[in-house]
Amino acid sequence: MPARTLATRIALPAGLFTLASVGALSWALIRSQRTNALEEAALGSESIGEAILLAIEHEMRVNERYAIREVLRNLGGHEGIESIRLFNKQGWISFSSDSSEVGRKVDMEAEACVNCHEGPTPAVVLDTEDRARTYRNAMGQSVVGTIQVIQNKPGCQGGGCHPAVEAMPILGVLDVVMSLEAAEARIAMTGWRALIYSLLAAGMITGVLFLIITRSIHRPLRTVAQATQRVTKGVPHVAAPRGSAPEIRILADSVNEVVENLSSSRSQLEAWAGRLEHIVAEKAKELSEARFQIVQAEKLSSVGLVAAGIAHELNSPLMAIITYSHLVRKHLPEESTAHEDVRMIEREANRCAGIIRQLLDYARDQRRNEEVERCSLSEAVYGALELLKIDLQNGGISLHVAVPDDLPPVGGNDVQLMQIFVNLFMNALHAMPEGGKLHIEAGTVERAEIRVVDLPPHPATRFVTVRVRDTGTGIEPEALPKVFDPFFTTKPVGKGSGLGLSVSLGIVRKYGGTILVESRHGQGATFTVILPEHIEPSEG
């Protein structure tokens, strides 16, 4: 049976409600029956006790102890009677259906004894329910016991075994204990029958409701629903099923009217929807590319004004440094420290020359002429750290690096990527003049999770991120939107050109990524480099 049909949704709760109602009523009746059974058992025990007292009254008057023992033993052997005991006022058992109990003393602190001896009501006037007790015996069986007070009446001194009435008004107590096993079994059977009847009643009501709702509502509605589905496949009319209610026929007529109104415009709407979707996709792509080009052109305009001049001015001294470093290195032993230091000077000078060329490329927007290589961001990060190792140590910077070696490759240029992180690490070093902590973390993120509006177009769906977080002075709120602008810097005059972040952002954007910045003044800054995963030309 389907779990979500209309018939099920109505019939099942109704059946459960019926089951709960009948079950609650049965439970109340069973509890009432149990209470009545216990009361009847207590009254039966009371009656048996009174009968026993009448039976042994003569023997007690003449102190015929043997006859009393025989009466109690014979009655105690009857079915349903657990035990019969007769004990004196001090609690000593004088007679019992179980001869092994004779001579024992009962627990005077027991509930039955306390009710008589310490209660506000004298023992001779206690009600039956106050003189009855229900408990489980040593075998775990449920029993009920009642006590009968044996009063000292005139004429009870025939045997000469106790004082007069005035001296001892109460002689002892007769305790009759009866088994409740038969009553418990009847109550349990009644409970099972009530449960079975409840389930049958709930099942019958649920089934009847299900059949009525299925025939009167569910089937006609399903027929109309199937007819409406056929309408979508070309059937022009919905017919209400025979014998259905007037509401179902009205529904079918309404559906037919709606179908007739929609059929004339459906094909036109479908054609317009397909054409509009195609136009929107094309315009969105054009708008994204145009916006990106405009933003890039605005940022490149200022760099282009000075790039050519600084390239000419710096290239000449750099060439001289490279040439003379090469000549000096030839005259030094290869195993000497000086030879390695000169090699480092030559290598860094070459890197400076490469940076100038990259600056010119960035300014001229020569992305189409550059080859995108398969690069490792982890190598770029560790390479930049190796170059700045001495500076970081001298600046008292504590490094916390979490950059996996198995990061997905990105598209770019190894030298340019290393230059990005050199710029970011140097900025962090300058922001912590008194020392601090530099946290570098890397990972991957899906494109849908990147909340960046101006992310350049790229076919990749997964991006690699590197977060560089320092504990420095942070960035002023008014300066935060300008940190990537060319020639903007918060450093003192002569300490920075303001091109590091601008050049870094241009390199990252050239490869389809971006750089995000977060900062609060006095609480450090976080720069996040985002680059798309490298896609081979055959995969694109």
Max avg pLDDT among 227-236, 281-290, 429-438: 429-438
Q: Which of 519, 406, 411, 419 is nearest to 456 (CA)?
A: 411
**Residue 528 β-bridge partners:** 467, 516
Mean pLDDT for the stretch of residues 63-90: 76
- pLDDT tens for each residue of 88-100: 777 788 777 777 7
Mean pLDDT for the stretch of residues 528-538: 85
Q: What is the pLDDT of residue 97?
A: 76
Residue 286, helix vs strand vs coil:
helix
Q: What is the pLDDT of residue 234?
A: 61
For the cut 60, the answer to whether the pLDDT of residue 62 exceeds it is yes
Give Cα 328 distance to the centre of its chain: 69
Angstrom distance (rounded) from CA 420 to CA 186: 89
Report DSSP state, residue 514.
Answer: E
Amino acid in the structure at residue 465: T
Average per-residue pLDDT for the chain: 75
Which domains, ranges and CATH numbers included, belong to the chain?
A: 6-186 (3.30.450.20), 245-369 (1.10.287.130), 372-540 (3.30.565.10)
Q: What is the pLDDT of residue 181?
A: 75
For the cut 70, the answer to whether the pLDDT of residue 304 exceeds it is no
Q: In what order do the strands lie in the sheet with 462-470?
A: 397-402, 436-446, 462-470, 525-532, 514-519
Q: What is the pLDDT of residue 425?
A: 92
Residue 529, helix vs strand vs coil:
strand
Q: How confident is the model at residue 80 (pLDDT cuts 50, 70, 90)?
A: confident
Q: What is the pLDDT of residue 370?
A: 59
Worst-scoring range by mean pLDDT, 86-100, 439-453, 467-481, 506-520?
86-100
**Residue 88 β-bridge partners:** 172
For the cut 60, the answer to whether the pLDDT of residue 494 exceeds it is no
- pLDDT tens for each residue of 374-403: 899 999 999 999 988 888 888 899 999 999
Q: Is residue 516 within 8 Å of residue 525, measured between CB atoms? A: no
Return the structure tokens found at 457. 């177009």
Mean pLDDT for the stretch of residues 13-33: 75
Worst-scoring range by mean pLDDT, 112-116, 214-218, 263-267?
112-116
Find the helix packing angle between 337-364 and 246-330, rounded to 10°. 140
Q: Which helix (H) or strand (E) holds 142?
A: strand 142-151
Angstrom distance (rounded) from CA 465 to CA 528: 7
Return the structure tokens found at 364. 């001229």
Angstrom distance (rounded) from CA 56 to CA 62: 10
Q: How confident is the model at residue 529 (pLDDT cuts 50, 70, 90)?
A: very high
Angstrom distance (rounded) from CA 302 to CA 342: 36
Q: Which helix (H) or strand (E) holds 443?
A: strand 436-446
Dihedral angle, C-alpha 312, 315, 317, 319, nearest 10 °: -140
Return the structure tokens found at 10. 């109505």
Q: How confident is the model at residue 368 (pLDDT cuts 50, 70, 90)?
A: very low
Report DSSP state, residue 218.
Answer: I
For the cut 50, the answer to whether the pLDDT of residue 192 exceeds it is yes
Q: What is the pLDDT of residue 336?
A: 86
Phi, psi at 524, each rounded to 5°: 85, 180
Residue 232, helix vs strand vs coil:
coil
Q: Is residue 389 within 8 Å of residue 320, measured between CB atoms? A: no
More reliable by pLDDT, 57 or 370: 57
Q: What is the pLDDT of residue 161?
A: 61
Sorted by sequence, the CB contacts under 8 Å of residue 411 that are 6+ apart come out as 372, 373, 374, 375, 511, 512, 531, 532, 534, 535
Angstrom distance (rounded) from CA 145 to CA 151: 19
Q: How confident is the model at residue 531 (pLDDT cuts 50, 70, 90)?
A: very high
- pLDDT tens for each residue of 430-462: 888 888 999 999 999 988 888 765 678 788 889
Return the structure tokens found at 394. 């001298």
Return the structure tokens found at 72. 């109690």
- pLDDT tens for each residue of 232-264: 666 655 555 555 566 666 766 776 676 666 666
Alpha-carbon separation of residue 17 from 6, 24, 29, 250, 434 (angstroms): 17, 10, 18, 33, 75
